[in-house]
Structure 1
Amino acid sequence: MMTNDEIQASTDHMMADVRAYRLSRVLAMLRRSDCSAILLYDPVNIRYATDTSNMQIWSGRNPSRYVMVFADGRVIGWEFHRCEHVWDGIALDFELRSALGWTFFSAGHDAQQRAELWAAEIADVMRCRAPGELRLAVDRLDAVGAACLVRHGFALMDGQAMMEMARTVKSSGEIALIGESLRACEAGIERMRRELRPGITEQDLWAHLHHENIRHGGEWIETRLLASGDRTNPWMHECSPRMLRQGELLAFDTDMVGPHGYCSDISRTWTVGDTRPTDAQRRLYERAYSQVHFNMDLLRPGMAFREFSEKAWKIPDIYVTNRYSCVAHGIGMVDEYPSIAHPIDWHEAGYDGVFEAGMTLCVESYIGEEGGSEGVKLEQQVLLTRDGCVPLTECRFETHWL
């Protein structure tokens, strides 16, 4: 048995490898795009590139910290007020500066003036670190900031596309961290199952997932998608004070950002009171289960997104209107590229690409008849290997209903 010191040393070594791998992916995308630097505001992208995190939900709404990564590996971090400590222990070639906030919340009616000062500093950094370079990738930038950089002569590139592509293929260390997040999520799901009973409210039940996430070092939950009874159809009702009733369906989608900032995205459907499902409930469940597992068996590296969409399980006509928004999607720190559209939606929402080994994906299903009284939501998180899909969670399906 390993000692605590040995466990910590092993964890530190793994985290060092994960950080190096993720940064190398960002640098490779910059070089491939012939771009000297990327300016990051999205807290998830900053976490991916530097493994620093600071009030992610708040800073996602309030652009208050930002990072520039250069193609040669140097990093400049502009950190929020007196928060330099969030960089402690980060083994990067980085320089820290104080962030300049120029949103209306931060600057009031001086926002334009502050934005000009901000852009001047960015331009000065680029002149010093990448002389003569006018191509700058940005992931998320308000119109005022973008206009200021353009006035300084910069040609802005789509940094979000670069970061999405960088994040696509996971290292073995990342898979291990995703596993830690999923174990926390599974603990929350099991707690919900234990507490599920007639009379509890949807909100009270959902709180048990939050409890286990925070207790295990997780971070936040992106949605509140838990619904019961007739609120399961159509899907996308968020949890409410409604009290659960014996024998009705209860469905949820975890969307949980857990330990180390990795997302656990699992959907399951149960009956309240663990009752035997009605024939109608069982038929819905069988079709959702079939959709998820048929599509898991279909997925292979090298397959084009469009081919997968066209060959995917055919949704019976009575359920097409209420179909889920995609067939499958990437998953990492949050929902990621790609999002695979249904054939019926391909003209408006589809785009092509190729699946690669090392992608982590969520295979989706929602089955509910338009105007029906209930619906079933299922989703499985998987790793795509050279041989096909491997489930990343052991969270059980209700196979005894089939």
Structure 2
Amino acid sequence: MTTFDWHAERSDLHDLALLDRAPESEGIDLAAVRLYRLGRVRAEMAARGIDALILSDAINIRYATGTRNMQVFTSRNAPSRYLVLTADRSILFEFTGAEHLGEGYETVDEVRPAKTASFVATGPDIAARERGWAREMMDLLAEVLGRGDATVGLERMNAGVAIALAEGGLRVVDAQEPVEMARAIKSDEEMNCVRASLRATERGMAELRAAIRPGLTEAELWSVLHRSIIARNGDYIETRLLNAGPRTNPWFQETGPNVIGENQLIALDTDVVGCHGYYADFSRTFHAGPDAPTETQRALYKTAHEQVSHNMSILRPGMSFRDYADAAWDIPETYYAHRYYLSAHGCGMSGEYPYLYHHGDFPDAGYDGEILPGMTICVESFIGAEDGGEGVKLEQQLLITETGTELLSQFPFEDALLQ
């Protein structure tokens, strides 16, 4: 395999070339990935009669263009970086002073400086800034589209901005549906990015597993994975989900200074936004040692493994969400109250459409749809008794193929807990 010398003179390389030539990009046509994704978004816009999208979610901007810039910051401080997308124009409004980051992409026709419309940026003049922002956007859309009564998909904007756009004569609709439906189906080349992110995350998971010892805090152990992800050019970890001992049950307890005790279970969910911006999402539960796991710990682990294995086995292309819920594994009453809130979910650049609900939750929360080739699905399990004790979190990431499924997450389960 060809290697890239990070220390070589690169003064003639654009940032885009540097990103595309990173070691994890070997053999991947990232331009094809970007163009495929942009085409997906435009096709979903056309199917819904949407003339333009104004995207401010950093992950959605990255999906549509491949560009990135301070993803966490700009998502929280919207609109400070946004994309205007029509059937034939892609205009990136980049954060102040960072316009150079959007140059050179085949998915971006023009880069302009963004105008931040937030209270932090404007103080008490926020309403005037929002109205000015909306007027400038309406003028741009009228210029690009040739009319002022367009249907515009909007996301994550201030209420004042949305109100001003609607009062200006635009038909404002939600941008979530076309973008989520676009993201749901991956191309073959896109899947190479997914696999690269998973392989890097699995190496980080191996380093974390090797570092386990009683006496470490949860945060100290969690930091091992963080370091590995960043060192391999990943972006960040989206959650703080690593717990030990009694803090493993119920799930969704934030990683903290709790000291890991001898022979405790350690449960974690990766939730890694890795290289190329793709989500590596699998869960594992380990045993701290030094003794062998107890029968109770093994029973919890084997039950979670049974749930994941069963639900993986029933997934198939063409299956409806309702049929999946009906065929999914029945959660024993002992563990039902602390069940994971989903049976499975889509996965791409983050957790995404579709959500597949448990049979018991489907009447209130579920919706129907079809499991399609090209979807990546994460199958979830959390097993922990309602009356306390430890819990086990397991999860696998799969690709739906034309004929069945392909297992994407390859990190092994724990033999000592499956015996």
TM-score (norm 2): 0.92
1:372 Cα shift?
2.2
Cross-structure match for 1:86:
101
Alignment of 1:13-24 (within 5 A): 14-24=29-39
Q: Partners in 2 of 1:68 and 1:113 — Cα distance?
A: 22
Q: Indicate whether 1:36 and 2:51 are aligned.
A: yes
C-alpha distance 45-280 of structure 1, shift in aligned 2 (>3 A): same
| Cα deviations by residue, 1:32-90 (Å, 9 ceiling, x for unpaired) | 01111111010010000011111000001101111111012x11111111101111331
Q: Indicate whether 1:71 and 2:71 are aligned.
A: no
Cross-structure match for 2:361:
345
SS for the counterpart of 2:385 is: coil
Q: Return the match for 2:181 from 147, 153, 165.
A: 165
Q: Indicate whether 1:388 and 2:404 are aligned.
A: yes
Cross-structure match for 2:8:
none
Q: Partners in 1 of 2:297 and 2:90 — Cα distance?
A: 54
SS for the counterpart of 2:361 is: helix
Q: Return the match for 1:57 from 50, 65, 72.
A: 72
Q: Indicate whether 1:101 and 2:116 are aligned.
A: yes
Q: Indicate whether 1:373 and 2:393 are aligned.
A: no
Cα pair 2:308 2:396 within 8 Å, conserved: yes
Q: Partners in 2 of 1:2 and 1:86 — Cα distance?
A: 26
Q: Partners in 1 of 2:399 and 2:207 — Cα distance?
A: 25
Cα pair 2:64 2:107 within 8 Å, conserved: no
Q: Indicate whether 1:127 and 2:142 are aligned.
A: yes
Task: Could you list the structure 1 runs, at least 4 aligned residues long, displaced by more than 3 angstroms after superposition.
Answer: 1-5, 7-13
Cα pair 2:84 2:91 within 8 Å, conserved: yes
Letter paired with 2:379: V
Alignment of 1:262-281 (within 5 A): 262-273=278-289, 275-281=291-297
SS for the counterpart of 1:38 is: strand
SS for the counterpart of 1:191 is: helix
Q: Partners in 2 of 1:108 and 1:145 — Cα distance?
A: 15
TM-score (norm 1): 0.96
Cα pair 2:272 2:281 within 8 Å, conserved: yes
Q: Partners in 2 of 1:65 and 1:80 — Cα distance?
A: 5
Cross-structure match for 1:191:
207
Matched positions, count: 400
Q: Partners in 1 of 2:186 and 2:283 — Cα distance?
A: 22
Letter paired with 2:42: L
SS for the counterpart of 1:269 is: strand
Q: Partners in 1 of 2:263 and 2:402 — Cα distance?
A: 42
Cross-structure match for 1:304:
320
Cα pair 1:327 1:340 within 8 Å, conserved: yes
Q: Partners in 1 of 2:3 and 2:217 — Cα distance?
A: 43
C-alpha distance 313-12 of structure 1, shift in aligned 2 (>3 A): closer
Q: Partners in 1 of 2:186 and 2:136 — Cα distance?
A: 34
1:221 Cα shift?
0.8
Cross-structure match for 1:241:
257
Cross-structure match for 2:372:
356
| Cα deviations by residue, 1:193-241 (Å, 9 ceiling, x for unpaired) | 1110010110000000100010000111111100100001111111111
1:13 Cα shift?
6.3
| Cα deviations by residue, 1:291-332 (Å, 9 ceiling, x for unpaired) | 001100100010000110111011111111000010000011
Q: Partners in 1 of 2:268 and 2:28 — Cα distance?
A: 36
With 390-399 and 302-311 compared, the bigger mean Cα shift is at 390-399
Letter paired with 1:299: L
Letter paired with 1:263: Y
Cα pair 2:38 2:107 within 8 Å, conserved: no
Cα pair 2:92 2:108 within 8 Å, conserved: no
| Cα deviations by residue, 1:329-375 (Å, 9 ceiling, x for unpaired) | 00110000011111211122111100001101100000111012111
C-alpha distance 3-217 of structure 1, shift in aligned 2 (>3 A): closer
Q: Partners in 2 of 1:24 and 1:11 — Cα distance?
A: 24
1:140 Cα shift?
2.1
Q: Partners in 2 of 1:355 and 1:17 — Cα distance?
A: 25
1:145 Cα shift?
0.8
Q: Partners in 2 of 1:18 and 1:68 — Cα distance?
A: 20
Q: Return the match for 2:344 from 321, 325, 328.
A: 328
Q: Partners in 2 of 1:209 and 1:8 — Cα distance?
A: 24
Cα pair 1:309 1:342 within 8 Å, conserved: yes
Cα pair 1:329 1:340 within 8 Å, conserved: yes
Percent of residue pairs bearing the same amino acid type? 45
Q: RMSD of the TM alignment (CA)?
A: 1.6
Cross-structure match for 2:171:
155
Q: Partners in 1 of 2:315 and 2:381 — Cα distance?
A: 15
Cross-structure match for 1:203:
219
1:275 Cα shift?
3.7
Q: Which runs of 5+ in 1 are unaligned?
A: none
Cα pair 1:35 1:71 within 8 Å, conserved: no
